[in-house]
Amino acid sequence: MNHPGAMPDDPKPEEPRVPIEDSLAAASSLGEANPAPPKASPVQSDRPESESRLRRILGRWVTIRDQPSEWEKLAAGLLCVVLVLLVWGFLTWGDPPESRMVSPSKFPSLGETLRSFPSLWFDRALARSTVWSLSRVLGGFLLAAAFAVPLGVVAAAYPRVNAFFRPISIFGRNVPIAAMIPLTLMWFGLGETQKVMFIFLASVAFIFFDTANSVDAVSNRFLDTAYTLGARVTAGWGARRALWIGLIYAVILGAGSMAFRRIEEPQLTVSEIFKNPGPWVAAGVGFIGGFLVWFPIQAHQAVRKVLFPLALPDIVNSLRLLFGLAFGYIMLAEVINSTLGLGSIINFSQRRGPREHIYLILIVISLVAFSIDRLVFWAQKRWFPYREHAES
């Protein structure tokens, strides 16, 4: 309503009405000018459906981090073996030996190598030599693991201990392994003790380093949780446990030293072996060393119940991989004064022949090491089913 004296409101102009037919025509023309976006189609595969199966399989080989199935792993491994055998056959093919690409004295054919197996088995005592080499490797490697694993756990738990042993660890991992041969000959003589201690010295630094890294990779949040739940130092209980472990070490090392003494000098009687100071020194070293390396672990619940168990799967995996490295060192350990062993067969065949035995021994070493590797890997999956074993 208008007040008196106010100007009347201007009437709003009416909007022109457009006939409905004209509105539909305008909308139609607008739709033609700006067509509606097409409906989203499902995501198309990077590979067309018509692509061949062979091409898809080959494409997986160049796909980054595309994990193969177990059958694909097996097929890839068999393909590698077949290619190696084909190259071997190609290089040694030829009916007259003189027509071959490589002289048979340097590289015999696969057939010639396999035909020499009976002489290797019967004349060179392949089975006994394999057992001897395996026992030497196991003796040295297990001895190294018995001391290096707990010492690596202690070094990772207490960084100042790690800093103390760091120079020795770096030296042991970088010194030429062949340089250990004259040293072990001077220290331990020419018998079985020298071969076992050579494997020990060649492996101990690597086991220590890998164990320390495995324990160091355990997150601190687990330690914080352990402290919250009351983890504490149990020196008395840890000392008793460490004494028992040291006693076990003493018995094993003392008995092992006596066995080596008996092998090296079979004419000695049991009483003469007991009178020898060597086994008693080994037992004393085992007792003291076992107590010292295990007491820091047993004396603290956070180390015994948190750090060590959580790092154990990685430690076992590292030992599995390092055992293959130690098995390769047996060739150097058996160079000197060895009548039985795979390394001694290689040395004898290199000097006097037949050369086919060298290639057979390399195959035997690979098969034995692979079998042990698979056995430990199977045990890993049984012991630690909660861990994913990417390295297979």
What pLDDT does residue 155 have? 94
Q: DSSP string of 160-210?
A: HHHHHHHHHHHHHHHS-GGGHHHHHHHHHTTSHHHHHHHHHHHHHHHHHHH
Q: Tell me, what DSSP letter sits at residue 118?
A: H
**What does the chain come to in residues?**
392
Tokens linked to 386: 């909660």
Query: d(Cα 87, Cα 7) in Å, to the nearest integer?
Result: 109
Single-letter code of the amino acid located at 174: N
Tell me the C-alpha to C-alpha distance, in Å, between residue 50 and each of 47, 56, 66, 95, 146: 8, 10, 22, 47, 59
β-bridge partners, 233: 300
* CB-CB contact of 391 with 320 (8 Å): no
Helix (H, G, I), strand (E, B) or coil at 300: strand
Query: d(Cα 325, Cα 141) in Å, to the nearest integer?
Result: 10
pLDDT digits 0-9 by tens, 82-117: 999 999 888 888 777 777 788 777 888 888 888 888
pTM of the predicted model as reported, rounded to 2 decimal places = 0.78
Query: d(Cα 40, Cα 62) in Å, to the nearest integer?
Result: 31
> What are the residue boundaries of the structural domains of the chain, listed by start?
114-232+300-383, 233-299
What pLDDT does residue 253 have? 92
Q: DSSP string of 200-265?
A: HHHHHHHHHHHHHHHHHTS-HHHHHHHHHTT--B-HHHHHHHHHHHHHHHHHHHHHHHHHHHHHH-
Query: d(Cα 264, Cα 111) in Å, to the nearest integer?
Result: 39
What pLDDT does residue 37 have? 53
Helix (H, G, I), strand (E, B) or coil at 363: helix
The values of phi and psi at residue 233, to 5°, are: -85, 130
What pLDDT does residue 6 have? 47
* CB-CB contact of 212 with 162 (8 Å): yes
β-bridge partners, 300: 233
Nearest Cα to 297, choosing from 241, 227, 226, 218?
Answer: 241
Q: DSSP string of 38-50?
A: PPPPPPPPSS-TT
Pick the CATH number of 114-232+300-383 from 3.60.15.10, 1.10.3720.10, 1.10.1760.20, 1.20.120.450: 1.10.3720.10
Query: d(Cα 38, Cα 352) in Å, to the nearest integer?
Result: 82
Instruction: Give the chain's residues under pLDDT 70.
Output: 1-51, 388-392
* CB-CB contact of 300 with 114 (8 Å): no
